[in-house]
Homo-oligomer: A and B are copies of this chain.
Amino acid sequence: MPPRTNFATMRCPVARTMAVVGERWSILVLREAFYGATRFDEFERNLGIAPNILSARLRSLTEHGVLEKLPHAGGYRITEKGRDFFPAFLALKRWGDRWMTDERGPLIVLEERETGREVTAPPVLASNGQPLMPEHVRVLPGPGANSAIRTRFPPKDC
């Protein structure tokens, strides 16, 4: 078997993102943190996860700066980097609620505390107000692009 690819050393930021959250339990640990869990036993009970796996996930998320260990209480708090993942979590939840539920619909709904408005990931819209689809998008090298990316996705001619 070839060595396991290390996603953290890939250049693509999406690949690096998967090095942080691409282990399946990681998103669910983050879900619990977003929903207010901080203590090990809260994560353990709410997730029904084996303690050794939970330890490994908490350690990895802490090493990646998504969670931080609380100095005294022994729990975990979500960092700014972790909180900034909330929109991506909402986008994953939106897709799951649409495509991966049974006919009864979502298990969980989120609402803004102050207003009671339902919170869902905003749709991605094209300039004409319609949903933006992959085929409406041109892929271009960004400021961090290397020559391989510039060859594959040439900058516009004009």
Interface residues of A (CB under 8 A from B): 2, 5, 7, 11-20, 22-24, 27-28, 31, 33-36, 46, 49-50, 78, 81, 83-102, 104-115, 117, 119, 121-127, 132-134, 136-146, 149, 152-153
Number of copies of chain A assembled together: 2
Most buried by B among A36, A50, A92, A153: A92
Question: How far apart are the CA atoms of A78 and B133 in the complex, in Å?
Answer: 11
Nearest CB of B to A113, in Å = 5
**Identity of the chain B residue whose Cβ is nearest the Cβ of A128 in the assembled complex:** B114
Question: How far apart are the CA atoms of A14 and B106 in the complex, in Å?
Answer: 10
Residues A13 and B149 in contact, CB atoms below 8 Å apart: no
**8 Å CB contact of A143 from B81, B105, B114:** B105
Interface of chain A: mostly helix, strand, loop or mixed: mixed
Residues A134 and B99 in contact, CB atoms below 8 Å apart: no
Most buried by B among A24, A33, A49, A111: A24
Nearest CB of B to A65, in Å = 8
Given contacts A91-B87, A132-B86, are A142 and B27 in contact (CB under 8 A)?
no
